[in-house]
Amino acid sequence: MLTIGVDIGGTKVAAGVVDPQGQILDRVKHPTPSDDPRALADVVARAVGELRERREEDEIGAVGVGVAGFVDEDRATVQVAVNIGLRDHPLRDRVQERVGLPVVIENDANAAAWAEARFGAGRDSDHIVCVTLGTGIGGGLVLGGRLHRGRFGVAAEIGHYRMVPHGRRCACGSHGCWEQYASGRALVAEGRDLARADPEAAERMLKLADGSVEGIEGRAITQAALEGDPAALECFASVADWTGRGLADLAAILDPECFIVGGGVSDAGDILIDPVRLSFARNVSGGPGRRLADIRVAELGGEAGIVGAGDLARR
C-alpha cells in the first residue's frame, strides 16, 4: 500500500507519495495559507488530490500529516501551532472529510524522527533520540522501536529543557531554554555578537552576508566555517558545546543507542558533529567506563517529515 505524507511548514505545504520502503515516488508543494484553518485543510486536500490523480485508483490507502505544534494523543486535534495560527483545531477530521481516506496528524519533529529511525541514520537501532537543530530545536524519541508520544501527545519538546537558570529569554515564556544556546538562532546570535565585538575577525562572515551585522545568517556562517574561517568555527564551537551538554543530559535520562542530529545547522557536517561528540563525552555522567551513544548526522534532510508522516499513516 502507498500512503501520502504531508509536511505543513510555516511557508509551504509539501506532500509526497511514500512507498513501504520510505521512498518518495511523487511530490507537490503549495504555499501555506496564513491564519486560516479552513484554507489550510483545503490546501492539504488539494495536494492529496493532485497526487492521487496521478496514481492508479485505490493505490493510496491513508494520509499522514506532520505539523509544527502540539498534537493530542488521538493524533486528531492540533492543540496549538503558533506558526500557522491553529488552536484546538480538529485538523484530522477537516482533512478526512475532504479526502475520504483515513488520516493521522503527527507533530512534525516526531514524524521526522520516525523516518530517520525507520529509513535513515537510525535504521539499525531501536533506541533513538532525534534532535533537529533548526531555527529552534525539535525532538523525537523512538524507544524500544516505538515512537514515544507521552500521555498527552506532546512528548519530546526538548528544545525547552531549561539548561541555564535565569538564562536567555525564550519565546515560550521561560528563560535559559536549550534552544537559546544550541540552534540556528543561537548560531546566528553568536555570529552577530562576534561581528559587533570584532568586525575585523568577522570579515569573512560579513563579506558572505550583505556587509552588515544584521545580514549575517546561518548560511554565511556555515560557508565561512566550511572554508576554515576561525571566527565562524568559533561560532560553531559554542553551539556544538551546548549541543553536547544537552545530549549528555538526555543520555542520563534516556540512555539511547544513538542520537541523530538534523536540521539546517547539521549541514556543516563534521564541523558541528566532531566537537558535539567531544562535548558529549566530556559532560556525560558515568565516567570513562560508560558506553557512549553514537552521534550521527540525519540522512533524510528536509524530506524526513513527508516520509515519516506517510509511514506513520500506514500503521
Least Cβ distance, residue 52 to Zn ion (angstroms): 39
DSSP 232: H
Note whether 223 binds Zn ion by CB under 5 A.
no
Q: What is the CA radius of gyration of the chain?
A: 20
Size of the site for Zn ion (CB under 5 A): 5
Q: Which of residues 144-163 bind Zn ion (CB under 5 A)?
A: 160
**DSSP assignment of 254-282:** H--SEEEEESGGGGGTHHHHHHHHHHHHH
Segment interacting with Zn ion, rule: CB under 5 A, options 61-69, 122-130, 172-180, 183-191: 172-180
Name which of 137 and 297 has its Cβ closer to Zn ion: 137
Work out which of 18, 121, 142, 177 binds Zn ion, going by CB under 5 A: 177
Q: Is 284 helix (H, G, I), strand (E, B) or coil?
A: coil
185 contacts Zn ion (rule: CB under 5 A): no
CB atoms closer than 10 angstroms to residue 179: 28
Q: Does 170 bind Zn ion (CB under 5 A)?
A: yes
* 52 scored as a contact of Zn ion (CB under 5 A): no
CB of 174 to Zn ion, least distance (A): 5
How far, CA to CA in Å, does 187 sit from each of 191, 229, 244? Answer: 6, 15, 15
Question: What backbone phi and psi angles, to 5 degrees, belong to 147?
Answer: -70, 125
Q: Out of 172, 201, 226, 292, name the contact with Zn ion by CB under 5 A.
A: 172
For the bound state, the minimum distance from the C-beta of residue 141 to Zn ion, rounded and expressed in Å, comes to 18
CB of 167 to Zn ion, least distance (A): 10
The answer to whether 2 and 59 have CB atoms below 8 angstroms apart is: yes
Identify which of 186, 189, 188, 162 has the alpha carbon closest to the alpha carbon of residue 176. 162
Q: Is 174 in the site for Zn ion (CB under 5 A)?
A: yes
Min separation Cβ 289 and Zn ion, Å: 34
**Residues binding Zn ion (CB under 5 A):** 160, 170, 172, 174, 177
